[in-house]
Structure 1
């Protein structure tokens, strides 16, 4: 088995469905998280086709309800031309994300920080540590209110035994310093929302986390793992150093009103 865009797209759909309701038609999948309606990454359209994107976007951004919501976000796995962007009546923020994949057996090559321990948030104590770390990492960029609502909403999903998602928390000694989501599906594992507090970065704690989860996946007969990174993300170099390679990409257009 090799990772393909089809594998990755299906994995992404399964992931978002754990948080959002989904409706589908011939061209699109529309995701809606009514508990956190202002969370862009849980409220968006995935456009499946490589034709008709311009017309679809224009039909959506001109709706009264879209403008009332304040944003419209759409993702596609197909290339978007500069000509299409130029023709849009409203110019979006554009971000391209790379899918970085690795064979889980490569965990054996990773050397982390011996002071690091990685625990599953199965207990309320570890979960609370994970929530605290997540807020600390995201408060400046997201604001305290949204950062708190976001992780507490996600925590309700972590606690649901019917959902195939697990939160892990990274510790330096007894101090929680990072967290990451682990989602297995169809012999692939997705790593999501991977953060290490700034004071502990570039000290191999991140490598320890990746090694721990890759080994877990390998022990459960999962052949590949992947994560998604912004093309401008400085952490990408750390992923490459640890053996991750680009296996695909997707583009996001975000319209703000």
Structure 2
């Protein structure tokens, strides 16, 4: 059964994180996010259904959003909800649909000093374009699909101004003992709530403690900046969530991403 995510502070942080790159338009019980410069990126072009009084109303809103996206000549419609909706209920919508479930994981700050990290590597905050090229290299590791590579390059190009702007999203790089970049991760803070996002460790360096070190350094920066909560969002089908649980993150809820394409 889907565990609804009820933490209002985390929900607010999620909204403001998205607003760093996408425009927001609220209409009734929905909030539409759009990034005109990267219209094919699902995570920046979606409809958040903020509330619903019933399953019937929720399905009706979803159908209207699908029709609107079609009228606007888009090729997909992504809906994000904090409510429980299963595939049988979605079958009532006359479109092929995919459902993705993400978990919200909140860190227990009392466990921070118990995290054992490496001392022979370093983590730095990205401050220039040269470092952003290193981040792109990590994201494109082992990729051979030219279309996907072009998409990732466009995505990182879009994020350049965000990463290098004060008060928005910061990104960090992790270097090993030979000064080779091995990982990257983002940090966003809004009103004392910190979000860790876009975590990557290159495949050959995984399970060596670099990921733990990277996340601990980001949490340290967040705490020093006054954060009272630190959380991340993980796809429930990915194995990374096991690492987060071992570090001291605790699951506080889930959200569903409902994806239509035609």
- Relative to the length of structure 1, the TM-score reads 0.92
Q: CA deviation at 1:4?
A: 5.0
Q: String of CA shifts for 1:157-199, please: whole Å, max 9, x gaps.
A: 11122x4211101111311111111011111110011111111
CA gap 1:138/1:240 in 2 versus in 1, 3 angstroms: farther
Q: Is the contact made by 1:66 and 1:72 (CA closer than 8 Å) also made in structure 2?
A: no
Structure 1 residue runs without a partner (length 5+): none
Asked whether the 8 Å contact 2:69–2:76 carries over to 1, the reply is no
Distance 1:184 1:139 in 2: 34
Partner residue of 1:130?
135
CA displacement, residues 103-149 of structure 1 (integer Å, 9 cap, x when unaligned): 33532111123332111001333232223222337665971110110
Unaligned runs of 5+ in 2: none
- Mapping of 1:1-257 within 5 angstroms? 4-50=6-52, 51=54, 52-63=57-68, 65=70, 68-136=73-141, 143-161=148-166, 163-172=167-176, 173-257=178-262
Instruction: Indicate the SS of the match to 2:227.
Output: coil
Q: Deviations over 1:86-108 (max 9, x none)?
A: 21111311011000111335321
In structure 2, C-alpha distance between the alignment counterparts of 1:184 and 1:58, rounded to whole Å: 34
Q: What's the C-alpha RMSD, in Å, of the aligned pairs?
A: 2.0
CA contact (8 A) 1:118 1:168 kept: yes
How has the CA–CA distance of structure 1 residues 64 and 239 changed in structure 2, closer, same or farther, with 3 Å as cutoff? closer
Aligned residue for 2:239, secondary structure, equals coil
Residue pair 1:180, 1:193 contacting (<8 A) in 2 also: yes
Structure 1 residue 64 displacement after superposition: 6.7
**Shift of residue 66, structure 1, vs aligned partner:** 5.0
Shift in alpha-carbon separation, 1:230–1:217, aligned structure 2, 3 A: same
Call closer, same or farther: CA 1:158–1:40 in 2, change over 3 Å: same
Matched residue pairs, number? 254
Alignment partners' CA distance in 2, 1:102 and 1:228: 11
Name the CA distance, whole Å, in 1 between partners of 2:72 and 2:217.
44
SS of aligned partner of 2:91: helix
| 8 Å CA contact 2:32, 2:47 repeated in 1 | yes
* Kept after mapping to 1: 8 A contact 2:187/2:197: yes
Distance 1:59 1:203 in 2: 48
